[in-house]
Amino acid sequence: MSVQIRIMFFLIALFTMGGLAAGAVLMAQGHHGWLSALCYVVALMLAGVGFTLRRRFVKPLAVKDQS
Protein backbone atom coordinates (compact mmCIF):
# COMPACT_ATOMS: atom_id res chain seq x y z
CA MET A 1 0.00 0.00 0.00
CA SER A 2 1.15 3.51 -0.67
CA VAL A 3 1.78 5.99 2.11
CA GLN A 4 -1.29 8.09 1.26
CA ILE A 5 -3.59 5.06 1.53
CA ARG A 6 -2.06 4.05 4.86
CA ILE A 7 -2.52 7.57 6.22
CA MET A 8 -6.12 7.63 4.98
CA PHE A 9 -6.89 4.31 6.71
CA PHE A 10 -5.21 5.55 9.90
CA LEU A 11 -7.35 8.71 9.91
CA ILE A 12 -10.53 6.75 9.24
CA ALA A 13 -9.70 4.38 12.11
CA LEU A 14 -8.85 7.30 14.39
CA PHE A 15 -12.12 9.15 13.71
CA THR A 16 -14.10 5.91 14.02
CA MET A 17 -12.60 5.19 17.44
CA GLY A 18 -13.14 8.81 18.46
CA GLY A 19 -16.80 8.66 17.44
CA LEU A 20 -17.37 5.44 19.35
CA ALA A 21 -15.61 6.83 22.42
CA ALA A 22 -17.61 10.07 22.26
CA GLY A 23 -20.83 8.09 22.00
CA ALA A 24 -19.87 5.98 25.00
CA VAL A 25 -19.00 9.04 27.10
CA LEU A 26 -22.26 10.77 26.20
CA MET A 27 -24.21 7.62 27.02
CA ALA A 28 -22.41 7.25 30.36
CA GLN A 29 -23.26 10.84 31.31
CA GLY A 30 -26.92 10.00 30.97
CA HIS A 31 -28.11 12.93 28.92
CA HIS A 32 -27.82 13.88 25.25
CA GLY A 33 -29.06 10.48 24.17
CA TRP A 34 -29.74 11.65 20.62
CA LEU A 35 -26.18 12.98 20.32
CA SER A 36 -24.81 9.68 21.58
CA ALA A 37 -26.83 7.77 18.99
CA LEU A 38 -25.67 10.17 16.29
CA CYS A 39 -22.03 9.59 17.25
CA TYR A 40 -22.52 5.83 17.03
CA VAL A 41 -24.28 6.03 13.66
CA VAL A 42 -21.63 8.31 12.16
CA ALA A 43 -18.81 6.13 13.54
CA LEU A 44 -20.35 2.95 12.13
CA MET A 45 -20.92 4.60 8.75
CA LEU A 46 -17.30 5.78 8.75
CA ALA A 47 -16.15 2.22 9.52
CA GLY A 48 -18.24 0.99 6.59
CA VAL A 49 -16.63 3.57 4.32
CA GLY A 50 -13.22 2.41 5.51
CA PHE A 51 -13.98 -1.23 4.70
CA THR A 52 -15.37 -0.24 1.30
CA LEU A 53 -12.28 1.80 0.47
CA ARG A 54 -10.05 -1.01 1.70
CA ARG A 55 -11.72 -3.44 -0.66
CA ARG A 56 -11.39 -0.98 -3.52
CA PHE A 57 -7.73 -0.05 -2.96
CA VAL A 58 -6.08 -3.07 -1.35
CA LYS A 59 -7.55 -5.91 -3.39
CA PRO A 60 -6.41 -4.62 -6.82
CA LEU A 61 -2.92 -4.04 -5.44
CA ALA A 62 -2.77 -7.63 -4.14
CA VAL A 63 -3.90 -8.99 -7.50
CA LYS A 64 -1.24 -6.94 -9.31
CA ASP A 65 1.47 -8.26 -7.00
CA GLN A 66 0.64 -11.90 -7.81
CA SER A 67 1.00 -11.52 -11.57
| Per-residue model confidence (pLDDT) at position 2 | 80
Above 80 in pLDDT, residue 66? no
Can you give the residue range of the structural domain that contains 15? 3-66
Distance CA 63, CA 24 (A): 39
Q: What is the mean pLDDT of residues 29-46?
A: 91
**How many domains, the chain?**
1
Tell me the whole-structure pTM to 2 decimals.
0.76
Angle between helices 33-66 and 3-29 (to 10 degrees): 160
Above 90 in pLDDT, residue 17? yes
Instruction: Tell me the pLDDT band of 28, cut-offs 50, 70 and 90.
Output: very high
CA atoms within 13 A on the CB side of 54: 12
Instruction: Tell me the pLDDT band of 27, cut-offs 50, 70 and 90.
Output: very high
Above 70 in pLDDT, residue 23? yes
